[in-house]
Structure 1
Amino acid sequence: MLIHVVQQGDSVYSVANRYQTPIEDIVEVNQLDQPDDLVIGQALVVPVSQYTVQEGDSYYSIGQRLNIPYELLASYNELDLNEPLMIGQELILPEPDRRTITTNAYIEPFGESVSEELLQSAWARTPLLTYLGMFSYEVNEDGTLSPPPLDDIPMIAQANNTALMMVITNLRDGAFDQELGRIILTDEQVQDQLLDEIIRVANEIGYRDIHFDFEFLPPETREDYNNFLRKARERLSPQGLLISTALAPKTSDEQTGPWYEAHDYQAHGEIVDFVILMTYEWGYGGGPAMAVSPIGPVREVVEYALSEMPAEKIMLGQNTYGYDWTLPFEEGVTAPAISPNEAIQIARENNQAIEYDEEAQAPYFYYWDEEGNQHEVWFEDARSIQAKFDLIDELGLKGISYWKLGLAFPQNWALLNYNFDIDKIV
């Protein structure tokens, strides 16, 4: 498996010919709906197990292109780095050292039923998921729960040996509610009712993990949240249920603000089975244009988390979306979220080449709409997700969690399957 960045004059035919790979394989793995119209700068995943040396190639350039250490490439093929490569020479590509990781993807139905598109996405992706996170069970002020629609989701998860994750939130009217969070974390009766409800629903549906996603909490409820998690563990663990939490992306325990202060990394690391770091939304719909999950800030959050809890409890949060911002940025104007495939389509329709920010490890481009407005688009591609996989491998993290299913990003799933084995706990 390798990543090819489309250059001027490239076609699916020329790429397939270069790597001696069937055209149909490239089209299928990248889900190319317009294979005859590639975009300059588009990153394609090419399923290949060997490479034919081209004019101008060196060990180093091939290693860079294939994301393989050039020394390993030479030693794997029993070649001397001091000997030049020959045009037409066949190199066998080493398989990655596949570590077993835990994976999760949230799924967020809207309305009274799960759309057919989401059901199809669940069927397609659950073979590569340890957990499928049902987003969300909203807590009411009395501790009862307002559930999401499920339809065939439990059956799909069971068919693919994917554990169901029950996501519990303090959402109200579509937003995380600070006062509701306070009630949940400080009222013993509400907590007892909530935990009773969780146990009942978990046993009824077959949930394996209970995932608390409490956000925008009053800063003074930090210890209340910790105590609630201890209480939840006492009640839920005897039922055979795992417990996890979603944590805001902090870089120190002193980080201020309602999104951060009530999230105690050290305590969560001690109490729950694992955490999901929400390492995205540096670039967000209501803010100025930038990469959604730039690798540098993501690494800083993970390194802080590692100072407070073991790596085997940390799952890296990963966006499957980008944003299309209209320039100049205006406060109060929200950029629409788009999938990686939609981003490529926008670049194609506007005849724009895709650029890549090496520092952020993220693709982007600009275009002008029919009304003369300039846009800036940041999204994810094969290169950016491989950078996250490399980070997970380097730091020995438990795994990765996606927000969310239903956004077309085929390269992610191909590379996930190539880089890792997936833990299945059911």
Structure 2
Amino acid sequence: MKYRWLVNIVRILIVTFILLLAFWLIYGQDWYDNYKNSHKPVGDHAPISLSTWVVDWDFDASTEDMKQLYNKWSSIQLFLGYFDEQDQIIWNDDLQALITKTRAQLSTDKQESTTPLYLTIVNDIVKQDGSSVQKDEGLVERIIATPESQYTYIEHLIRLVQDNNLDGLEMDFENISSEKWPQLVAFYEMLYRRLASENIPLRIVLEPKVDFAQLEFPDGPQYVVMAYNLYGFHSDAGPKADRSFLGKLTARMESIPGDATVAIATGGFDWDQNGLAKALTEEEATQLLLSATSGTVRRDEASGAQTFNYADDQGNNHTVWFADAETLRYWIEIIQQRGYSSIAIWRMGNISDQSLTMLKEL
């Protein structure tokens, strides 16, 4: 065969093309997203604006951490707004007392705090027996079912904010199916316009799984995107966020109007040998670190998180991943590189002095 060498070259080229095409189909988009996000011009970063949440189930620890940065917060979100089994927002004197205590913690002997306090409303149902249903989509469906139901809830929310001398409202409705989101966005727009007429600002929390580009979010509210739970209760062991996750998420956030806030999470998770996960605060994880199996402690390069293994008193093996001060700083730097300067910290409570000091220095 006089031209066999040419035939062989053609075959090699064809096989190479097929392999490159397969590689691109499998990995190409991820590679391109990472390249694009890691080569954005950085320039001078805008000053960081910090907000955070105080939670009712860990109130004393939350406010103790919060007051360490009492004059640094752009706003404090009070995670207090749940619903009962009749779809009514639960409110009582105890919750009013928590608002008063929060204001007192933020103030000094010489100056009363001017930090805005927001009420966070979440679609959790707390039953009379003390049990709860978290992130209930059916509750949201009933709230937005008709113009009349929407009006009723909007007016009630306004009264709650005004009667308790609060400065703003935050809506944190999660676990919403994609087909319900357009109707929920319409509700948020109605809520925003009514709040604006009373000079009450609105924050809206969005899960990372929401398809931002497919929704027409109204201008005006402050949007807060949860940049965490990459790994957690739903998965095997791993960090709450890493560079790739943050890069892809912030790239998708470009379709959200205004300067969105990026929320990062403190603490971490402990997975047992059966794969069951338990949430940990940073201080809880640090205590477990003292019993880490020799040679297993390391800092993950992709996420900046600490991870280690340990055996409990019954000899069961565990894997822990958690965020410390270095992790939080790493995530914030990545977010800054993507052009975002508004950071929310989920949440205060049992955070190390090192992490609180790092946040102060921002």
Q: Show CA shifts across 1:77-107 (max 9, x none).
A: xxxxxxxxxxxxxxxxxxxx77433222111
> 1:243: which partner in 2?
202
- Structure 1 pair 404/174, CA: closer, same or farther in 2 (3 Å)? farther
- Structure 1 pair 174/118, CA: closer, same or farther in 2 (3 Å)? farther
Matched residues in 2 for 1:267 and 1:156: separation? 39
Matched residues in 1 for 2:358 and 2:45: separation? 12
Q: Which blocks of at least 5 consecutive residues in structure 2 are unaligned?
A: 1-43, 126-131
Matched, 1:200 2:148: no
Matched, 1:156 2:109: no
- By percentage of residues, which structure has more helix? 2
Structure 1 residue 152: Cα displacement: 0.8
> 2:123: which partner in 1?
170
Matched residues in 2 for 1:247 and 1:369: separation? 37
Matched residues in 1 for 2:349 and 2:178: separation? 34
* SS at structure 2 position matched to 1:298: helix
Q: Is the 8 A contact 2:231 2:238 kept in 1?
A: yes
Q: State which of 268, 275, 279 in structure 2 corresponds to 1:337.
A: 279
Q: Show CA shifts across 1:284-320 (max 9, x none).
A: 13431111122211221111102x035x521111111
Matched residues in 2 for 1:191 and 1:215: separation? 18
Q: Which blocks of at least 5 consecutive residues in structure 1 are unaligned?
A: 1-96, 251-259, 420-426
Matched residues in 1 for 2:286 and 2:84: separation? 41
- Structure 1 pair 274/176, CA: closer, same or farther in 2 (3 Å)? same
Structure 1 residue 379: Cα displacement: 0.3
Matched, 1:104 2:57: no
> 1:220: which partner in 2?
179
Structure 1 residue 222: Cα displacement: 1.7
Matched residues in 1 for 2:292 and 2:337: separation? 38
Matches within 5 A, 1:374-413: 374-413=317-356
- Structure 1 pair 239/143, CA: closer, same or farther in 2 (3 Å)? farther
Matched residues in 2 for 1:134 and 1:115: separation? 10
- Structure 1 pair 328/248, CA: closer, same or farther in 2 (3 Å)? same
Q: Which moved more, 1:158-167 or 1:208-217?
A: 158-167
What is the aligned-residue identity percentage?
19
Q: Is the 8 A contact 2:246 2:334 kept in 1?
A: no
Letter in structure 2 aligned against 1:277: V
Letter in structure 2 aligned against 1:377: V
Structure 1 residue 410: Cα displacement: 2.7
> What TM-score, normalized to structure 1?
0.65
Q: Is the 8 A contact 2:261 2:341 kept in 1?
A: yes
> 1:315: which partner in 2?
261
Matched residues in 1 for 2:327 and 2:235: separation? 21
> 1:185: which partner in 2?
144
> 1:417: which partner in 2?
360
Matched residues in 2 for 1:290 and 1:124: separation? 30
Q: Show CA shifts across 1:96-136 (max 9, x none).
A: x77433222111113xxx75433423322433211111113
Matches within 5 A, 1:10-409: 99-110=46-57, 115-139=59-83, 144-147=88-91, 149=95, 150=98, 151-157=100-106, 159-172=112-125, 173-250=132-209, 260=210, 266-268=215-217, 270-306=218-254, 308-309=255-256, 313-329=259-275, 333=276, 335-350=277-292, 352=294, 354-409=297-352
Structure 1 residue 352: Cα displacement: 4.1
Structure 1 residue 213: Cα displacement: 0.7
RMSD value, Cα: 2.6
Letter in structure 2 aligned against 1:325: W
Q: Is the 8 A contact 2:306 2:324 kept in 1?
A: yes
Structure 1 residue 137: Cα displacement: 1.2
Structure 1 residue 378: Cα displacement: 0.2
Structure 1 residue 278: Cα displacement: 1.0
- Structure 1 pair 116/226, CA: closer, same or farther in 2 (3 Å)? closer
Matched residues in 2 for 1:266 and 1:102: separation? 26
Q: Show CA shifts across 1:173-202 (max 9, x none).
A: 241111111111222222212111121121
Matched residues in 1 for 2:159 and 2:314: separation? 54
Matched residues in 1 for 2:261 and 2:228: separation? 13
Instruction: Report the number of matched residues.
Output: 304
Letter in structure 2 aligned against 1:386: R
* SS at structure 1 position matched to 2:144: helix
Q: Is the 8 A contact 2:227 2:263 kept in 1?
A: yes
Q: Show CA shifts across 1:318-349 (max 9, x none).
A: 111111111242xxx3x222222322221223
> What TM-score, normalized to structure 2?
0.76
Letter in structure 2 aligned against 1:117: A
Letter in structure 1 aligned against 2:203: S
Letter in structure 1 aligned against 2:176: L
- Structure 1 pair 321/100, CA: closer, same or farther in 2 (3 Å)? same
Q: Show CA shifts across 1:250-291 (max 9, x none).
A: 3xxxxxxxxx36x667523x3342211111111113431111
- Structure 1 pair 116/341, CA: closer, same or farther in 2 (3 Å)? closer
* SS at structure 1 position matched to 2:103: helix
